[in-house]
Structure 1
Amino acid sequence: MMKLSNMVRGLASDAVAKSLIQNWEHDEGTLTFWRASSNFVYAFENKQEKYFLRFSYDQESSIEQITAELEFMEYLKSNDYPCVSPILSVNGKYIETVLKSEGTYFAVVFSSAHGNTLDENITEVQCEDWGRSLASLHQLSKVYEPVSTKRFNWQDILWKIDVMLQAYPDEKEATEELDILTERLQSFPISNTNYGIIHYDFQLDNIFYEENNRVFSVIDFDDAVYSWYALDIVTALDDFLGDDMNLVHSQVKSFLKGYSSVFPLNNEDINQFSYFQRLMKLYRFSKLLWSLEGSEVVDAPKWLDDVKLKFARVRDELRRGF
């Protein structure tokens, strides 16, 4: 989740996207905005094939972390895991940069995913396949060794939350929650059977289902982090678990059944779910604080007010949960 002020600048007249796309082969006139969250994403075509340009402001990411992300994706692809591929630019690079007055942007292009997105009406069979897909990723993660830079880990997440909350001393309940979670997470065991690099956003808008072979093709690894595999499960199931950690929800049961068929879960993993849900909510809260900082933008586009209201509403709901 980026600062809204950065989002306004990055989307202004599509100037950044139009500048960056010149580094890749493309069909003129096909560049269109797709979505913006922690990154800007535009769709385009090259020889009538669809691709996606993703770029981020240097305040939001770094070349080292993007490189680590792409290396993990290439490892997954080399082991026949279905995820999208980064595409070389005309300059023979996976990452291109453009310097603007407000700073530097880093860009990557990806192939498009096969299959279709699913919604909350996902069937139990599809949920099993969803869980199986995440477990297969974790099986590969178990033996992954990074080529160069490692991705961030869960301690970096706690550090980011702490830095943000220090700027908001009135958020005492959130700070207390951080202290509780820090102490609790530090007591969790770490081994190659429960910990490794995780996707950390394995939700339905980042996976595409191929009905014929019951396989999910995965996108959006830019949140990948070293943490417990159970955190990946909780993040994926966020829309279905509810605040009461409803593990008997039909979709949740089917997901866990599919997951356990590939990567066994034990009671210790499941007992940690509630703490990971709390971490996920606290991290989201801190990112909303970050995103709303400095969002009083001169000559702001009309959409900004609606987004600010939505973010503020979610922030306030999360605050009441601490």
Structure 2
Amino acid sequence: MMNLENMVHVLASHTVAQNLVELWGNDEGSLELWRASSNFVYAFKQHQNQYFLRFSFEQNQTMDQLKAELEYMQYLYLNGFPSVVPIRSKNGELIETLMAPEGTYMAVVFSKANGINLDSDDITEIQMEKWGESLGSLHYLSKKFEPGFVRRKSWLDTVELMEDVFQRHPSDRIALEELNKVTSWLQSLPKDNETYGIIHYDFQLDNIFFEENKNSFNVIDFDDAMYHWYAIDIVTALDDFIGEENPSSKVLMRSFLNGYRSKMNLENDIVAQFPRFQRYANLYKFYKLSISLDHEVIMDAPSWYDGLRGKLMRVKDDLRITFQKPW
């Protein structure tokens, strides 16, 4: 999640999106908000073809990290992995910037992902297996990926970011204590080419699109890609299923892991450590929520603001409870 103050400012008029999309060109009247979470994402059409504009404040992601993300995505695409691709602007650039009084925006445009989003309540065992197979294919390609001049951030970089935020807020001391425990545990894990590499990090159902005629998934949203243990990608993908006690969830998870194992080795001792990887995931989510809620009181906030802020605060409180669970 981005800072809510930034979200309120940008969504008040959509002027930033309108100015940015002109750098690529769009059919008149086709620009519309699609998603506002970690980034702003707008759908638009150009010559009746669908594209997506994604932009954020420069302080939320550096130019080097954005270039590294696009390099990784292009590598995947060139090696046959079904994912969206960045589109060059009218200036021939993959990344465009826009200076504004409140800061600099960085923007990219992506092709449309074919297919539909699936729902966790309706997904079938076969689709779960294909989902796991898709993630396994991504990790298999990640093992061979060699970045150019810039590498994506690592989990240690995120630890430094989280530590800085948690230290600024006394009420988050329990999160800082949990971070120290998780960091020590992760540093004790073996790290080799079979278990560690660049991951998607947000391989959930809202970021993958199922093409029924091909029985495969198209993937979007690589802006959280980082170097981490592959296991964390599985854990975050299955967030809606892990911890559920009903038999159907366990069957679906087993199908996912069967699909994953068709492409990547996954030892049972790694699976047994999923709950500890979940603790890192909870901390990272808590950190993002902290950033989102870290702002002064917003005067004349839009009608949606109080509801969203209250929801995020409740999620953050629920995550605090997980930090109290014994190791």
Measured against the shorter chain, the TM-score band is over 0.9
Which range moves more in the overlay, 156-165 or 136-145? Answer: 156-165
Deviation sequence 1:266-312 (CA, Å, 0-9, x none): 02321331111001011111211111011521221111111101101
Provide the residue aligned with 2:16 in structure 1: 16
Aligned partners of 1:291 and 1:244: how far apart in 2?
A: 32
State which drifts further: 247-256 or 178-187: 247-256
Equivalences for residues 127-138 of structure 1 within 5 A: 127-138=128-139
Q: How far did residue 25 of structure 1 move?
A: 2.3
Q: Does 1:293 align with 2:311?
A: no
Please say which of residues 265-274 and 196-205 is displaced more in the overlay: 265-274
> Aligned AA for 2:256?
F
2:298 match: secondary structure: coil
- 1:252 is displaced (CA, Å) by 0.7
Measure the CA separation in 2 of the matches of 1:290 and 1:82. 32
Whether the aligned pair in 1 keeps the contact of 2:210 and 2:216 (CA below 8 Å) is yes
Distance 1:226 1:246, change over 3 A: farther
Structure 1, unaligned stretches of length 5 or more?
Answer: none
Instruction: Identify the residue that residue 72 of structure 2 maps to in structure 1.
Output: 72
Moved more, 58-67 or 42-51: 58-67
Q: Distance in 1 between matches of 2:196 and 2:58?
A: 29
- Does residue 1:144 correspond to 2:181, yes or no? no
Q: Any idea what the Cα deviations from partners look like across 1:78-127, whole Å, max 9, x if unmatched?
A: 10100001000000000001011110000000000011110011100000
Q: Distance in 1 between matches of 2:36 and 2:22?
A: 20
Quote the Cα distance in structure 1 between the aligned partners of 2:195 and 2:184: 19
* Residue in 2 that maps onto 1:275: 276
Q: Does the CA-based 8 Å contact 1:241-1:247 persist in structure 2? A: no
The CA distance in 1 between the partners of 2:295 and 2:246, in whole Å, is 35
d(CA) in 2 for partners of 1:158, 1:239: 24
Alignment of 1:113-262 (within 5 A): 113-120=113-120, 121-242=122-243, 249-262=250-263
Whichever residue aligns with residue 66 of structure 1, its letter is: L
Distance apart, 1:212 and its partner CA:
1.3
How many angstroms does 1:50 deviate by? 0.5
CA contact (8 A) 1:3 1:295 kept: no
The answer to whether the Cα contact below 8 Å between 2:194 and 2:265 also exists between their aligned partners in 1 is no
More divergent stretch after superposition (161-170 vs 96-105): 161-170
Find the counterpart in structure 2 of residue 85 from structure 1.
Answer: 85
Moved more, 294-303 or 127-136: 294-303
| Number of aligned positions between the proteins | 322
Shift of 1:164: 0.8
% same residue: 53
CA distance in structure 1 between the partners assigned to 2:130 and 2:46 by the alignment: 32
Output the CA distance in 2 between the equivalents of 1:295 and 1:251: 43
Spell out structure 1 runs of 4+ moving beyond 3 A.
243-248
Moved more, 244-253 or 34-43: 244-253
- Alignment TM-score, normalising by the size of structure 2: 0.96
Amino acid aligned to 1:57: F
Aligned amino acid, residue 165 of structure 2:
M
Greater Cα offset, 29-38 or 280-289: 280-289
Contact 1:69 1:221 in 2 (8 A): yes
Deviations 1:130-183 (A, max 9, x none): 000000000000010012210000101111111111011232321211111011
The one-letter code of the counterpart of 1:290 is I
Amino acid at match of 1:76: L
TM-score by structure 1 length?
0.97
- Say if 1:287 and 1:245 are closer, same or farther in 2 by CA, change over 3 A: farther
Helix, strand or coil at the partner of 1:59: helix
CA gap 1:99/1:213 in 2 versus in 1, 3 angstroms: same
Counterpart of 1:98, as a letter, is L
Structure 2 vs 1, CA of residues 245 and 164 (structure 1 numbering), >3 Å: closer, same or farther?
Answer: farther
Deviation at 1:247, TM superposition (A): 11
Aligned equivalents of 1:29, 1:246: Cα separation in 2: 48
Q: What secondary structure is seen at the aligned counterpart in 1 of 2:50?
A: strand
SS of match in other structure, 2:170: coil
Q: Secondary structure at the match of 1:160?
A: helix
Alignment check: 8 A CA contact 2:241 2:249 kept: no
Give the conservation status (yes or no) of the 8 Å contact 1:247–1:253.
no
- RMSD of aligned Cα (Å): 1.5
Q: Structure 1 CA distance, aligned partners of 2:87 and 2:238?
A: 30
Determine if contact 2:200/2:225 at 8 Å carries over to the other structure.
yes
